């Protein structure tokens, strides 16, 4: 028999309903990153707030994709991988971009933000390979090892409040430390702490 001719848009045809919510998550995160970049390019405050508003939208999409997958009983390996990729954009790179937009732009800040993103990537990869063993007894993952990556919205909330109060750039709390040729805002250390909490194996967070 001749090989089957690939269908047009065959990948999209294979998507489940939940996968489109996952894509919505990734699109919202991408939009947030681009909005923060636009703010940095032109200092138009509205773009900062657009980016900030898109991250809760990403969280809503992230919650809905899991709910839809469970209701329709259509969880799939593709959906799991899509979810992780979307999450690192929306809850890893986007919060780091927001921090940069707020003024965390020193060399030390960059290292802290890169560490945070690396922890997010590592945390999601670990979840993907351990989810089966964590759910072996009940069929459902009962807890997260380390802080789940959407918890980075706590950092987003903090930065949004500071920005609204006019605390940005040189007005950020605790000012800036000059460590030889490297400048570091102490506020960046919150990203280091949160990243470390994400990759912790001893911190167990119940999954609702």
Contact status, residue 87 vs residue 161, Cβ threshold 8 Å: no
Residue at 4 is within a domain:
no
pLDDT tens track for 81-98: 888 899 999 999 999 999
pLDDT digits (tens, 9 = 90+) for 40-64: 998 899 999 999 999 999 999 999 8
96, part of any domain: yes
Per-residue pLDDT tens digits for 157-191: 999 999 999 998 888 888 888 888 899 999 999 99
On the question of pLDDT at 73 being above 70, the answer is yes
Structural domain for 147, as ranges: 10-206
User: Domain containing 43 — which CATH number?
Assistant: 1.20.120
User: Domain for residue 3, yes or no?
Assistant: no
Model pLDDT, residue 133: 61
Domain assignment present for 178: yes
- The total number of structural domains in the chain stands at 1
Contact by Cβ (8 Å): 193, 89: no
2 within some domain? no
Q: What angle do CA 29, 18, 146 make, to 5 degrees?
A: 60
Q: What's the mean pLDDT in 93-109?
A: 95
Task: Identify whether 121 is part of a domain.
Answer: yes
How many Å apart are CA 54 and CA 66, to the nearest integer?
Answer: 19
In a domain, 47, yes or no: yes
Which pTM does this prediction carry? 0.86
Return d(Cα 91, Cα 36) in angstroms, integer: 14
Residue 118 pLDDT more than 60?
Answer: yes
As a whole number of angstroms, the distance between CA 14 and CA 52 comes to 32
């Amino acid at each position: 028999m001749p090989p089957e001719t690939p269908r047009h848009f065959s990948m999209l045809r294979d998507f489940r309903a939940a996968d489109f919510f996952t894509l919505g998550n990734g699109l919202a995160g991408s939009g947030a990153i681009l909005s923060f970049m636009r703010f940095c390019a032109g200092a138009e405050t509205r773009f900062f707030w657009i980016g900030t508003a898109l991250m809760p939208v990403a969280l809503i999409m992230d919650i809905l994709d899991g709910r839809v997958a469970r209701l329709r009983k259509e969880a799939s390996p593709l959906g799991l991988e899509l979810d992780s990729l979307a999450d690192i954009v929306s809850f890893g790179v986007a919060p780091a971009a927001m921090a940069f937009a707020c003024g965390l732009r020193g060399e030390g800040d960059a290292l802290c933000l890169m560490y945070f993103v690396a922890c997010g990537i590592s945390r999601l990869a670990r979840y993907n390979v351990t989810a089966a063993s964590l759910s072996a007894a009940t069929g459902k993952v009962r807890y997260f090892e380390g802080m789940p990556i959407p918890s980075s919205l706590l950092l987003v909330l903090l930065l949004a409040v500071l920005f609204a109060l006019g605390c940005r750039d040189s007005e950020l709390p605790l000012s800036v430390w000059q460590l030889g040729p490297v400048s570091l805002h102490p506020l960046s250390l919150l990203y280091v702490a949160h990243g470390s909490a994400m990759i912790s194996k001893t911190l167990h967070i119940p999954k609702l």
